[in-house]
Amino acid sequence: MKLLKKKLLAAVIAGSIAFIGVNDIQTVQAAKNATNQTEATANEQQPPRINIDKLAKEIAEIYDVNESEVRTALSENRSLDDIYYAAIFAKVSGKSFRQVFAMKSDWFDVMQALGITEEKYDEVVRDLMIEDIANRSNVDKKTVRKLLDNHYHPRDIRIAGRLAKAANKNVQEVLDMKKINQRWIDVADELGVDRKLVRPRTPIEEEEDNSTEQSQ
């Protein structure tokens, strides 16, 4: 039971960081903190606020839940961890985000109440991870699944995929290039591609970049 609870937490952390991005998690928390600041600190530099509409859209698309229901939870400053638990369990159980979020208590108890087995949970979360890696690595899902089965780290697959595309190489070739004492930027330099490709990019960042390019 303790192991399963740890896995649940790990999946939420993975959802928060791998799917949405560290910077966006920080700005969500910063936005909450900013609302509690006093007038005495009003002149201090304020942290950026997250675009709730974009975040709600991403979560809805990733977990196949209702976007407006997620937006409502975000706008009410509900716990982001709870939002991810509800989204994941809605995806696994087939129930709506609103229905699952209303059940909020101990999320392990909610999982049991929904009749979600550990096997089914693992299957859905793994599929979500594979799809996310494929979308952000230029590697097809079949190859991603094979690389995960071969114990490659998701981050390494994402980075190698981007570098491989830029260098017109096979992703396995690029993965094989990284030695224990090397960093990914060293591999990028060896391939002669932009070091910026090593930096993880989120769908939000990509959308903003595309909008900027279109406006120029």
Query: Among 89-103, 124-138, 169-183, which is the least confidently predicted range?
Result: 124-138
Res 94: pLDDT = 93
Res 32: pLDDT = 42
pLDDT in tens, 87-124: 989 999 999 999 999 998 888 889 889 998 888 888 88
Confidence of residue 182 (pLDDT cuts 50, 70, 90): confident
Mean pLDDT across 46-62: 76
Q: What is the pTM of this model?
A: 0.64
pLDDT at 7 over 90: no
pLDDT at 29 over 70: no
pLDDT at 142 over 90: yes
Confidence of residue 23 (pLDDT cuts 50, 70, 90): very low
3-state secondary structure 131-177: HHHHHCCCCCHHHHHHHHHCCCCHHHHHHHHHHHHHHCCCHHHHHHH
pLDDT at 127 over 70: yes
Name the nearest CA neighbour of 59 among 23, 31, 90.
90
Domains of the chain, residue spans: 2-117, 136-209
Mean pLDDT across 13-31: 41
Tokens representing 209? 């970049």
Tokens representing 103? 């059940």
Mean pLDDT across 148-170: 93
Looking at per-residue confidence, does 161 or 125 come out higher? 161
How many percent of the chain have pLDDT more than 90? 40
Handedness of CA 156, 160, 203, 98 (dihedral sign): negative
50 φψ region: left (φ > 0), alpha (ψ -120 to 50), beta (else): beta
Mean pLDDT across 206-215: 46
Residues in CB range of 207: below 8 A, 6 or more apart: 54
Look over the chain and give the mean of its residue pLDDT values, rounded to a whole number: 77
Name the nearest CA neighbour of 24 among 163, 202, 197.
202
